[in-house]
Amino acid sequence: MEITTQRASRPALTENGFRQCLRVAGGGALGFMVSQLMGWNYGVFFTVFPMFLLGMVPILNGTIIRQFLANVSLNVLEVSLVVGLLKHMPVVMTLVVLGIFLFRFNLMAKGTLFLFGANGVLTLSILLHFASYPNVDLSDLLASNLAASGLAVFIAMLMHTLFPDVEVRKPPLRPTKSLAQIRHETLMGGATATLSFVVFQVFDLQGSLSAQMATILVLFALGYSGAKVSATKRAIGTLLGCNLALLMQLLLYTQSHHFLLVIVLYWLGLMLFAREHVHEGAGSGVGFGGLTTLGILFGQSLDPQQDLVYSALYRFSSMSVALMLTLLVMACLHELLNLWEPTRY
């Protein structure tokens, strides 16, 4: 009886919410389809960027597009300088990365240019993750990032044209924060993101992109208490995404060469998680965790001679360990920053 009451109390999906589901699922599937048909490298850019742009913000306007494209241009410059000029000086490179992350998290903590800061942190982490390996062509990496970002903007415009909102959305309320709280969130986010960067530089974790993305996405909650909730939801979303990817692999079996069948199953999976994401009304929750998991698994691991079983199991296990360590670091930083009045939360 209690379960029935809880299910009944869940609000129905509004018309605006349903159209956002169609935008997120359609955009993610279209990005994946284009990258696969064109044979472009770094398929994860083409699958995740449209999801981020359509899922993190439910509207699209000139300000959002300018923030997104400005971040892409700045990321190219930052990665070129950090990797191209400072790779032989790891200490200096780490300090520069810390400064970049602190700048982005300060924008997020203040609430101004939140999309610019969040997209910058996530994209820069992915780019540095790939660029840290000697066999990676930096020019190809940055060119793929630019192409995927431009395509994501085009896809977002197309999806908003095909599935526009039927009602005007109210702007979200921006919470009032003290200077101490802003400093606390800035330092915690910047330090944790930098530590994640260092760990993935020191250890050979080239196949752990999901784990690194998880350590960054939980920081979007801008605080330890919010990160604990976000980490739990992220873990559940990743587990569900991995299980759904494995189910799709079983359904496809030897039929993975039928691209249309792959697209249909992929779109259905995205639609399922997009619906959960819209219901949650949160940034990085269960739904968004499932979306990005499917995007990474299909963007990186879909190949006629390769199945998703090992990739799915490895990504969930590595992500779980990464989230636990991230929360441990955040708990320590939270206590340390609260010892000092100017950074007390």
* Closest listed residue to residue 274, CA positions, set 15, 8, 23, 1: 23
**pLDDT for 25 beyond 90:** yes
DSSP string covering 115-161: HHHHHHHHHHHHHHHHHTSTTS-HHHHHHHHHHHHHHHHHHHHHHHH
CA distance 83 to 65: 27
SS3 at position 166: coil
* Closest listed residue to residue 189, CA positions, set 102, 78, 319, 97: 102
**In the prediction, which pLDDT does 263 show?**
87
**In the prediction, which pLDDT does 52 show?**
87
DSSP string covering 277-332: HHHHT-SSSHHHHHHHHHHHHHHHH-BTTB-SHHHHHHHHHHHHHHHHHHHHHHHH
* Token representation of residue 208: 């752990």
SS3 at position 12: coil
Contact 41, 140 (CB under 8 A): yes
**In the prediction, which pLDDT does 311 show?**
64
Which pLDDT band holds residue 10 (cuts at 50, 70, 90)?
low
**pLDDT for 64 beyond 60:** yes
**pLDDT for 139 beyond 50:** yes
How confident is the model over 41-55, as a mean pLDDT?
Answer: 87
CA distance 271 to 287: 10
**pLDDT for 255 beyond 70:** no
Which pLDDT band holds residue 319 (cuts at 50, 70, 90)?
confident
* Closest listed residue to residue 124, CA positions, set 71, 86, 84, 85: 71
* Token representation of residue 234: 């992220």
CA distance 194 to 101: 7
- Domains of the chain, by residue range, sit at 15-164+177-343
Stated length of the chain: 345
What sign has the CA pseudo-torsion 211, 212, 214, 215? positive
Which pLDDT band holds residue 283 (cuts at 50, 70, 90)?
low
| pLDDT tens digits for range 89-106 | 888 888 999 999 999 999
* Closest listed residue to residue 105, CA positions, set 173, 228, 196, 28: 196
Model's pTM, two decimal places? 0.85
**In the prediction, which pLDDT does 150 show?**
92
Alpha-carbon separation of residue 89 from 84, 86, 95, 96 (angstroms): 11, 5, 10, 11
